């Protein structure tokens, strides 16, 4: 079964500053939420997909990794310390965590425990609700600086909020994500198992898979640099390099970004906010299909 995009994590040093940045970009940004393992977040929602702004707020509460236990807090703390702010985790929609874990384990890309948790979230009206999730982790042994898991929503009616999905920049949804690697072909087996999708070759060093929610692309570091006029994130293996947002009116998005005086560049019909302006992330705005 092909898994659509669920969310990406953008780990930052200052959650309020990151919220202000995304607000300047024309996004509606949710309230601060607290995890019991030392991290706090704010959410940018689109239908069925969200971007999670994440801060290491209480490092003393972060548990270490176990032999078969993935520590979300420790991974993002170490990512921030070693790589700086940026896109740290790619998350796909889950439906059956036990089956997904079994699939990852059987392919040699798993071996990590399932993780269930709940937290309190703020609705747009300020009321508290409980949201709950089940996570199944996958790992590419060649990619130490990018995390991967599926996320099954246990209380979706409490999480998704239409009011948070209306954005001044006209964003209507996620168009896709872009990963970069020195040799993308080395990672196709892993990505095919993780996404459940087949990847087609666009050109040498550029592979594409379509999912029910967004396209997953993996480019060589050179092709990524040539396409977006910015260096791919450094480091071995796959790196989550960009999130692509669909907008209903590219001129409206252009005006919004221009009014905020954000540094943005137009490249072949899309608007690119690069990592220097976007706290280590790269955000791409393009016309909705």
* pLDDT tens figures, 127-164: 889 999 999 999 999 999 999 999 999 999 999 999 99
Whether residue 268 is predicted with pLDDT greater than 90 in this model: the reply is: no
How far is Cα 146 from Cα 179, in angstroms, rounded to an integer?
A: 10
Whether residue 6 is predicted with pLDDT greater than 80 in this model: the reply is: yes
| Residue 66 DSSP label | -
Domains of the chain, CATH where assigned: 5-164 (3.10.180.10), 170-287 (3.10.180.10)
| Start-to-end CA span in the chain (Å) | 24
For residue 153, the SS3 value is strand
Whether residue 269 is predicted with pLDDT greater than 90 in this model: the reply is: no
Which phi and psi angles does 158 have, rounded to 5°? -90, -20
Residue 183: HSE in the Cβ half-sphere, 13 Å Cα cutoff: 4
pTM for the structure as a whole: 0.96
CB distance 177 to 217 below 8 Å: yes
pLDDT band, residue 42 (cuts 50/70/90): very high
Whether residue 261 is predicted with pLDDT greater than 80 in this model: the reply is: no
H or E segment to which residue 44 belongs: strand 39-46
Number of H helices, E strands in the chain: 7, 16
CB distance 218 to 232 below 8 Å: no
Q: Report the chain's mean pLDDT, rounded to a whole number.
A: 95
Q: What is the pLDDT of residue 245?
A: 98
Q: What percentage of the chain exceeds 90 in pLDDT? A: 89
Q: What percentage of the chain exceeds 70 in pLDDT? A: 100
Task: Using DSSP bridges, classify how beta strands 5-12 and 270-273 pair: parallel, antiparallel or unpaired.
Answer: unpaired
Whether residue 125 is predicted with pLDDT greater than 90 in this model: the reply is: no
How far is Cα 230 from Cα 288, in angstroms, rounded to an integer?
A: 24
* pLDDT tens figures, 27-41: 999 999 999 999 999
* pLDDT tens figures, 51-69: 999 999 999 999 999 999 9
* pLDDT tens figures, 191-234: 999 999 999 999 999 999 999 999 999 999 999 999 999 999 99
CB distance 8 to 89 below 8 Å: yes
Q: What is the pLDDT of residue 228?
A: 93
pLDDT band, residue 264 (cuts 50/70/90): confident
How far is Cα 85 from Cα 73, in angstroms, rounded to an integer?
A: 14
How does 158-168 read in b/e, with b if 16+ C-beta sit within 10 Å?
bbebeebbebb
What stretches of 94-140 adopt beta strand conformation (E)? 115-122, 128-138
């Amino acid at each position: 079964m092909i898994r659509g995009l669920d969310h990406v994590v953008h780990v930052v040093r200052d959650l309020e500053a990151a919220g202000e940045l995304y607000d300047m970009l024309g996004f509606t940004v949710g309230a601060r939420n607290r995890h019991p393992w030392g991290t706090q977040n704010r959410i940018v929602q689109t239908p069925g997909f969200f971007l999670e702004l994440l801060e290491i707020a209480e490092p003393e509460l972060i548990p270490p990794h176990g032999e078969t236990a993935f520590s979300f807090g420790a991974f993002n703390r170490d990512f921030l310390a070693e790589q700086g702010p940026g896109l740290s985790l790619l998350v796909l929609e889950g439906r059956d965590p036990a089956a997904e874990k079994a699939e990852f384990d059987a392919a040699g890309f798993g071996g990590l425990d399932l993780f269930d948790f709940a937290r309190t979230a703020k609705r747009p009206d300020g009321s508290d609700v409980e949201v709950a999730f089940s996570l199944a982790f996958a790992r590419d042994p060649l990619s130490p600086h990018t995390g991967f898991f599926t996320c099954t929503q246990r209380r979706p009616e409490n999480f998704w909020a239409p009011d948070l999905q209306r954005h001044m920049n006209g964003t209507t949804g996620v168009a896709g994500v872009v990963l970069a690697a020195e040799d993308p072909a080395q990672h196709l087996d892993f990505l095919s198992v993780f996404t459940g999708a087949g990847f087609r070759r666009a050109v040498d060093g550029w592979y594409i898979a379509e999912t029910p929610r967004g396209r997953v692309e993996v480019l060589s570091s050179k092709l990524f640099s040539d396409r977006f006029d910015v260096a791919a994130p450094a480091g071995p293996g796959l790196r989550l390099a960009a999130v692509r947002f669909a907008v209903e009116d590219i001129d409206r998005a252009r005006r919004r970004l221009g009014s905020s005086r954000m540094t943005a560049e137009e490249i072949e019909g899309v608007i690119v906010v690069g990592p220097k302006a976007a706290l280590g992330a790269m955000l791409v705005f393009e016309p909705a299909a």
